[in-house]
Amino acid sequence: MSELNTFSIAARCPRTGQLGVAVASAVPAVGGLCPYLRAGIGAVTTQSWVNPYLAARILDGLGAGLGPDAALAAALATDDRPDLRQLGLVDGHGMAAAWTGAGCTAEAGHRTGPGYAVQGNMLTDPGVIDAMARAFEESAGHDLDERLMRALEAGDAAGGDKRGKQSAALKIVAREDYPSLDLRVDEHAEPVAELRRILGVARCQLVPFVAGMPRKDGPAGALPEAVSAMLLRPPGERPGSAPADISDLLSDVIGLPPEAAERMAHLQAQFAPVLAEIRTLRALDLTQVHPAILFDPSLPYRGVPHE
């Protein structure tokens, strides 16, 4: 077992029925161990001293018709150390449940609300959980990916994991047996900010690809021509991509210091196309279009005619 001291949210979108989990931690590859989702059934995050089998049993229970509280209780009853576990879940109807064992590292706790469960342990402050819940509730008009991202950002801004930062993940399922979104930052100084940047790229490049994938209740078909054409281009030439030196370009264009990592990552996601265009324009050689014009302030004093 691995101890994943972390903060997370499991949630459901009432408009689309999508289920998702967003999570961050000061251990690597948190997205590979904590989130477990089944389309139409539920979303579970298991953390602290992780027991992935609890998540699987909860999803089995939900699939068999148990409510979230009953599925959670039944799964914990099979475990020999429930005091070390922390779990949060929502079912396919948006009903939520959570558990924080007495042996979880402080600060530890959870909060549930309509369509979500927020939980965390080894936090800098209990306000991390409240900030995440508030961010999710206040973003009700947005899609699930954005609501989960905002909740994670709120937890990060409120202090997050007291040991620091290392990894983050966001995973969403819709109607298919494969995820509609599965993004991970496995080793980064600012994983939540980096996850925001990757989400911006994924919205432009990955989401259209997944939208054209085969469906279990329809013909397989093929990717739309526009999506195929986009993916045949090099990554740096696709919508949403950012040049490798975008941080330097941001600093140069708007004067933002490179050490402002979180703000830098947000701006990278929002303004990458504009910055890419600036970079392209700067690289253009216009001498063949118009020769260089040189201004020589000494000309009026030379006593020679101008050409």
Q: Is the pLDDT of residue 214 over 70?
A: yes
Ordered alpha helix ranges (H), the chain: 52-63, 68-76, 127-138, 144-157, 191-211, 225-232, 246-254, 261-283
Q: Is the pLDDT of residue 77 over 90?
A: yes
Q: What is the crossing angle of helices 144-157 and 127-138, to 10°? A: 150
Q: Is the pLDDT of residue 80 over 80?
A: yes
| Angle value at C-alpha 4, between 13 and 100, nearest 5 degrees | 65
Determine the pLDDT at residue 244.
Answer: 46
Q: What is the pLDDT of residues 146-181, one digit of tens each?
A: 999 999 999 999 987 767 789 999 999 999 999 999
- C-alpha span between 11 and 8 (Å, rounded): 10
Determine the pLDDT at residue 255.
Answer: 61
Determine the pLDDT at residue 163.
Answer: 72
Q: Is the pLDDT of residue 62 over 60?
A: yes
C-alpha distance from residue 7 to each of 26, 60, 76, 154, 156 (Å)? 10, 24, 20, 11, 9
- C-alpha span between 307 and 304 (Å, rounded): 9
Determine the pLDDT at residue 225.
Answer: 78
Average pLDDT on 258-280 reads 61
Determine the pLDDT at residue 263.
Answer: 63
The alpha-carbon radius of gyration of the chain (Å, integer) is 24
Q: Which residue has the higher pLDDT, 194 or 217?
A: 194
Position of tokens 């020999």?
80
**DSSP symbol at 30:** G
Determine the pLDDT at residue 165.
Answer: 87
Q: Is the pLDDT of residue 7 over 80?
A: yes
- C-alpha span between 79 and 138 (Å, rounded): 36
Q: Is the pLDDT of residue 120 over 70?
A: yes
**DSSP symbol at 41:** T
Q: 1 pLDDT band (50/70/90 cuts)?
A: very low
Q: What is the pLDDT of residues 133-142, one digit of tens each?
A: 999 999 999 9
CB 105 within 8 A of CB 121: yes
Q: 227 pLDDT band (50/70/90 cuts)?
A: confident
Determine the pLDDT at residue 303.
Answer: 59
Determine the pLDDT at residue 270.
Answer: 63
Determine the pLDDT at residue 248.
Answer: 56
CB-based contacts of 23, cutoff 8 Å, min separation 6: 6, 7, 8, 9, 30, 31, 34, 35, 45, 47, 152, 168, 169
Average pLDDT on 96-102 reads 97
Determine the pLDDT at residue 235.
Answer: 78
Average pLDDT on 291-302 reads 56
Mean pLDDT, all residues of the chain: 85
Q: What is the pLDDT of residues 36-52, one digit of tens each?
A: 999 999 999 999 999 99
Q: Which of 88, 71, 72 is nearest to 23 (CA)?
A: 88
Q: Is the pLDDT of residue 221 over 50?
A: yes
Determine the pLDDT at residue 128.
Answer: 94
